[in-house]
Amino acid sequence: METTPAVALFLTLAILIIAARVAGTLARQLGQSRVLGELLVGILLGPTVINLLHSTALGIEQAHLEETIHLLAEIGVLLLMFKVGLDVHLSELRKVGRLAVSAGVIGAVLPVLMVVPVVLAFNFSLEVALYAGVTLAAMSTSISAQVLLELGQLNTKVGHALLATALVDDIVAILMLSVIGILTASGGVAGSETLVGVILRMVLFIGLGGLLALRALPWLLDRAGDRPQVAASFGLPALALAAAFLFGWAAEALGGVAAITGAFLAGAGISFTSQPVKTQIARAIDPILYSLFVSIFFVSVGLQSDLRTFTLDSLPLMLALLTAAIVSKLVGSTIPALLFGFTRREAIQFGFSTISRGEVGLIIMSVGLTSGVFTADDPMFASLFMVVIITTLITPIIMRRLFRVESEEPAQAVPIGGH
């Protein structure tokens, strides 16, 4: 009997969910983050070892599920950032606004300034060097945010600084990508005019989108909560999910920023609803979010990793890029934190929370592939991919060690759906 794509998807999801839960549980028993376990089991299930999505024995290869799993992972990271926005105290984020701007700008620009000379020293072109620098400019908010959720440290000074900085960091990284794209594609007056348009789109979306999220969404959901016919049958969580997807769409389609930024704004706005409404939304969304979508997202990072393509010839380049990537983020985040009143311990915690690269870096790498700057089998692409994977793997380990004292205290207040 021939396996249909739907049936193959059912089997694949079952394998991924069970593997993620087992790996996550083992990681927690070893004193590490669930995220680390899910990333590692993703590598095991990916083309590096098992190559699950191309398994002929299970009838999965014929279904061509790569794009489907990728889309489910995109939903996962979008909903994760929506949940982060829902859980965060926005009033506390305002207290770290100046730090966020400083660390976000410096932490995004400094990797480019450090990576470009490194790449040029290995005899790559300036265009490749610029794309490599921007790839390593943006941190992976979802990785660090999930670890902070697990540790009950999201609503702390460091957690608030991380989230606020990540917003600035993503905007600066995407803006630099737009600048490089414009400069390499056209340049001149037309290029300058296009660049001004890109900046205006981003600023307008963050301003107007943020205002709409903070004013309209709480009012709408609180009014809906007063109507039994709307509140019944999970009407409030449905409206909240619709808002997350709508703001995610608007962020990319209208604002030119990452969809996760729009989802975060939606969650932050809904966090201002009344406590009963907010609680009902969180209790309905958490189980499916953490049992399915978030696990799929973190496992999918490993599924995309084919470590067989990385050769020893690329090792010096990778190590140089890895060093520049880590040092630039640490310097760009830790020093501003110290200048804005963080203790030495808090500044170090904050600095190491920013070193992970992830979804934004992978997106920029895909843009480089599409535009012909990278090829999938060249040493630069393989080295960048290894840097993304290594920083993604080591960040949960380092963060759990740095936050261990706090996580052992009884106040584990953030609900994380058992994740």
Summarised one tens digit per residue, pLDDT across range 127-148 is 899 989 988 998 877 778 878 8
**pLDDT tens readout for residues 242-281:** 999 999 999 888 987 778 888 888 998 999 999 899 999 9
Question: What is the distance, to the nearest Å, from the Cα of residue 277 to the centroid of all Cα atoms in its chain?
Answer: 27
Q: Quick count: other Cβ atoms within 10 Å of Cβ 381?
A: 21
Averaged pLDDT of the chain: 83
- Spatial contact of 202 and 138, defined as CB atoms under 8 Å apart: no
pLDDT at 152: 82
Q: Which whole number is the average pLDDT over 33-62?
A: 85
Which pTM value belongs to this model? 0.73
pLDDT confidence of residue 415? 37
- Segment 232-253, tens digit of pLDDT: 778 899 999 999 999 999 988 8
Per-residue pLDDT tens digits for 364-413: 776 677 677 887 667 888 888 889 888 888 888 888 888 875 544 433 33
Residue 203 in this model has a pLDDT that exceeds 70 = yes
List the chain domain ranges. Answer: 69-407
User: Tokens 């996962």 appear where?
Assistant: 76
| Residue 200 vs residue 222, higher pLDDT | 222
Instruction: For residues 285-311, give the mean pLDDT.
Output: 84
Asked if residue 257 lies in contact with residue 202, where contact means CB atoms within 8 angstroms, the answer is yes
Check if the beta carbon of residue 277 is closer than 8 Å to that of residue 222: yes
| Mean local confidence (pLDDT), 20-38 | 83
Cβ contact 55:61 at 8 Å: yes
Confidence of residue 166 (pLDDT cuts 50, 70, 90): confident
Task: Find the mean pLDDT for residues 193-211.
Answer: 81
Mean pLDDT of 207-226: 92
Say what the pLDDT of residue 418 is. Answer: 39
Structure tokens at 175: 């803006």
Q: Which fold has domain 69-407?
A: Na+/H+ antiporter like fold (1.20.1530)
Residue 331 has pLDDT above 90, yes or no: yes
Q: What is the mean pLDDT of residues 225-232?
A: 79
Q: What is the pLDDT of residues 352-366, one digit of tens each?
A: 999 988 666 766 776
Instruction: Tell me how many degrees the CA angle 292-296-300 measures, rounded to the nearest 5.
Output: 175
Q: Is 408 exposed, middle or buried (0-12, 13-18, 19+ CB in 10 A)?
A: exposed
pLDDT band at 189 (very low <50, low <70, confident <90, very high): very low
